Structures are given as structure tokens and as C-alpha cells.
Amino acid sequence: MNIIVVGCGKVGMTLAAQLSKEDHNITIIDNNEKALGHAVDSLDVMGIIGNGAMLQTQQEAGVKNADVLIAATDSDEINMLCCLIAKKEGNCSTIARIRNPEYTTEIPYLRDELNLAMVINPEMAAAKEVERLLRFPSAIKIDNFSRGKIDLIRVKVPENSPLCGLKLQELHRTLNINILICSIERGEEVIIPSGMNDLQAGDVISFVANAQHANAFVKQLGIVFSPIKEVMIVGGGRVTYYIAKYIRDSKLRCRLKIIEIDKERCNFLADEFPEATIINGDGTDQDLLLREGLENTDAFCSLTGFDEENIMLSLYARSQSHARLVTKVNRITFESVINDLSLGSIIYPKQIVADHIVQYVRALQNSQGSNVETLYKIADGRAEALEFKVGNDPELIKHTFAELKYKNNVLIAAIVRKNKLITPGGSDFMLPGDSVIVITTNTGFKDLKDILA
């Protein structure tokens, strides 16, 4: 597909890199010649220097033949104008990054009036992920499927876990818990498991379950956790704003303390969230953190605008407390190194957005059949979890899973049928209207039939 990305910042670069890997023709527009040159040199993309909100620039980028335009500049208003021009001139699908909280309630109106295919907000998406982690504090990562009916939960097997050495086929019989382990990360290896695989100490596993069975399984693993009652956040930016809003609006009952160095921002947060404690101070001041109760807090989130600060803050918090750690990282370049630092749950706002857009583009490529409904990169990007809606394809429906022949490294993790979660066995089958969760180390699946050998 022909895709135009306006904006060569962190989001634009992440999107261009991900989409170019999927063999799309990518053109990036930016008026920063140096940043654009770096993108062209490091990625398989074309570059156009200019203002993406100008018709002439978009015409030069080939908007008339574009399938998708993604506006990801730092300005919400410019992004909306880019999409409006592209829709009028090229009639392509348009996606706009709109980040300002003031526009939150206006999003449905803007989407309809500007005919946007999607609105992306990296900070809001990241905040939603943090809120899920606070609800389930033993998880490293939680991904939602089927509009929140299913969770894919990632946890680490403790060293002294009583389940070490247990074959996966024995789990259900031994524990009487309805869960399915979908992937095992063991060192550099990602295993899409069969029943003969076992659990080992230090494994990072991803499993599918509903909330009740997930909690029971985590306890059986030997992971000790208690509900989050106190949360300390360093950094009062947009992610923190949305987290505070989610905490206030949800049933998550916890006390929130925010440390922010900018006094004006503190005043804004205090006005918006009078129930929270807002502290004007330098979050990197160790004495301040200790005075404000770092040693006793249940969760510590480092959400400043600087990756290095966030990493150091989480390392310090780990040394001083047993808090649940959440670390925001914008640059994904050193992901393998960062993952070895014991930073708790690492949130990559740009990658969250990239997953949503890749999902949309794959579905757009396959306008008929069983489209991708949801997509997440899991196991640090080495595998994918995809949700498909089952169509009326005779190659798929009413055949038992034992009869179907799959590609290697493919696992059917769950079926949702009329709001009921089914953990599939060999005698189960798919019906039209089902939602099916697929886990695979293959990439690029666009249709449910892609799982077949």
C-alpha cells in the first residue's frame, strides 16, 4: 500500500519503521531536513521536505495515489488540517494524532466531521495500559481483546514457583483453572508452546484468562501481590493527566501522589484533581522521594519526558522499596538492554500507537474475509497476538482444530462466542461471528486463513 506519514518525530519514525517492515511504500513529509535525511538513510522510505499541511507538498508526495495518510506532527491542529486536505484531494484513509486533553470530548465530532479513519493519542493509550497494570499489579503487561472480555497477561515465573517443571498439559488437571499459556520467553528464545513444554524459573509467560482465573493462576505460580493503595508518579505530563483521570473515573481506589517540577503545571493538576496530592519539586531529588514516602508506596511510575531520568528513577525506587514499577520509555532503540534492567513494566507509547495503526492497515488490505480486529506485539516484538472475526469461510468454520493444518509456531489461544470465553481444545471449532485470538511468531497475518499451512 502507498502510505504517507506527515511528521518525522518519534511517532512518525516508529510508524514508518514498522510499516516499511510490512512491505508498504512509505513517504515521509517533514520540514526538518536533517531529521528527514536520517529517516531516509536508516529506513526504506522516501522523503519530501515541506509543510505537510500544504496541498502542493501533499501532491508532491503522491496523495492522489495514497491509500493512507497518517498525520503525526507535534501540532493537533496541523494534523487535522493535513487529514482534511488529503481527504479532499486524494480520498485516502486518514489518521490524525490528537493529543491535547482539551479535545478529548470532541473526538467523536472531529472524527465524523473530518471523516477520519482513526484518531491516535499515544499518551492516552499509554495511560490506559498503566491503569490496567495498577488493577493487576503482578503483571508485566496486559493486552485486551474482544473489547475487554479477554486479557493476555504477561508475568515472570518466580525462582521458587511450585509450578516449575510442570508440563503445560498437566496445568488444567492439576490446578483446575481455565487458562492457556500462549508464549514462553526463555532467554532469547520465544516458544509457542505445546502441551509437552514445561515451566522453568525465570520464564516470562503470556497467558489468556478471565480476571478470576488469572488471579488464581498467578497465586498458584507463587507470585505474591496485594491491591495497589498508594501510587507515586514522577512527572506531571499528559500520560499522568490521563492516569489521574482514569483513576478518578474508575473503581480503582488508591491515593495518588504526583511530583512535578513545573509550578504552573502543578497548579493545573491540583485544579483538575483536587483529590490527588500534587508536589512541586524535582523528582530526581532522592531526599524528596524518601520524604514523600517512596519506601512505603505500592506503585511507583516514572513518567518524565526523559528516558534516562525514568530509568534511573525506577532503578532507585527498586533499591529503596518493593513498589510496583512502571517506566515510560520513548526511544525503543536499546530495548534489549533496557529489558535487562529490572524496570518493572516498561511502557512504550509510540509502539502502542504503531500496533493500532498496523492493525488498521492490515485490515484495510483485506477488505473481505476475516479481518484483523486487534493486534499487539508481544515478547518484546518477537511475536504477535491477533484477534480475528470469523467470517463464513468453509475452509475454517465447523472444522475441528484437530482437523485443521496450521503453519509452524501458530497457537489458537481463545475463542469468544456470544460473550463466552472458550479455551480451545482439539474437538473445538470456529463458527461465523466468533472472535478468535491467534498467537504466532510469524508476522504479517492479515486474514485468519493465513494461519493455515
Domain ranges of the chain: 2-120, 142-221, 230-347, 367-451
| Dmax (CA) of the chain | 66
The pLDDT assigned to 420 comes to 85
Fold of 230-347: Rossmann fold (3.40.50)
pLDDT tens by residue, the chain, 453 residues: 899 999 998 889 989 988 998 889 999 999 999 999 999 998 989 999 999 999 999 999 999 999 999 999 999 999 999 999 999 998 899 999 998 888 988 988 999 999 999 999 989 999 999 998 888 888 888 888 877 778 889 999 998 899 999 898 888 778 888 888 999 999 889 999 988 999 999 999 999 887 778 888 998 999 877 889 999 999 999 999 999 999 988 767 889 999 999 999 999 999 999 999 999 999 999 999 999 999 999 999 999 999 999 999 999 999 999 999 999 998 766 666 776 778 888 898 888 888 888 888 887 776 544 477 888 888 877 888 999 988 888 889 889 999 999 899 999 999 988 888 888 888 999 999 999 999 999 988 888 889 998
User: pLDDT tens-digit profile of 77-106?
Assistant: 999 999 999 999 988 999 999 988 889 889
| Domain 367-451, second-level architecture | 2-Layer Sandwich (3.30)
Instruction: Kindly give the interhelix angle for 349-365 and 10-21, rounded to the nearest 10 degrees.
Output: 40
What CATH number belongs to 2-120? Answer: 3.40.50.720
Let me know if the fold of 2-120 is the same as that of 142-221.
no
Which CATH homologous superfamily contains domain 142-221?
A: Regulator of K+ conductance, C-terminal domain (3.30.70.1450)
